[in-house]
Structure 1
């Protein structure tokens, strides 16, 4: 299955497709994707996915990680970095101390990003470890810039019935967001636990194996 077909299948999960429709987002069809994003974008996306795979091949749990194209909705239509209605009807758990958060540039209804698209990201230590690291530049972009709540929320939707960082997966994990500033000295993260999507704050030096990140490259700001 090629990238376009996979995106169509992912966003065809009806509870998520219905949510997108309700928020005025264009349906993810072959026509929409190929008309909106030129061939150069898809070619760059393939290059970026290979580059991320190779660059982070030495990370802990790298063999579990899959990189590919992630579609991120315009937050003015559907803000995936904030609580949103879930098919289960169970509301998100959201720490009210969290700010609006970092948002992608651009004004399209959907943006193309290359990042982690599966259940698990790589383990690269704690929030502090990642922020202080010096080996995160891929194709001219600092992949930490887009380790954000918004992108993780979009990944939750794209994964549909099988969310990442969920206790129902083979192992439970949580994703750190080093692209977001500390809040009251604490680091932002996201997980799915006990049936609830949880946007949380925690210790920035917590680097246990279940702490993961999602390196990302944004197509519209490509530099290489």
Structure 2
């Protein structure tokens, strides 16, 4: 069956936000972050299958929020794991084994990814098998390993990586059928470890990951624009 999917991974505990409420449930301009993220993918496609990976202990609270905010975007909830790798693996397992198409994996606390970026990543994965959105580095970078004080490196040699990272469904299912390794820093690194090239497409500046209280201020500003 040919169908596209998106796996939205939301396992944050909110510690860097300085509060007890996990960051994916915090309000941005009066609406929970996670709802904004899901809605952005529904804007991209009415037909896309949405899989939400959420810690089991947070799922009752999520259901309460859905009722409170009359959130009725259809989605499937699966249990998160002890690591992001395991959470992604659980999400991938929820995609039917006979599915063909593209599956994306996206951070639940990146609610401002644009529909254009989503479309670029899905089309690139459809053509090349695997894709990720990136942005140029604007700050000066310094390499600091060792005891000599380090040295600056060419920022033109580097990119910052965003999500969604997108893959042919069968490709990423096979790639994730391995034990966890510390080399797996994101989903693209899992695909690359299996021998697959991941092409880069242009991301967007507003596709920020909400991690600190400052990010929430920036998120409110983006909403008001």
| Higher Rg | 2
Bigger helix fraction: 2
Give me the TM-score of the superposition, normalised by structure 2.
0.26
Give me the TM-score of the superposition, normalised by structure 1.
0.26
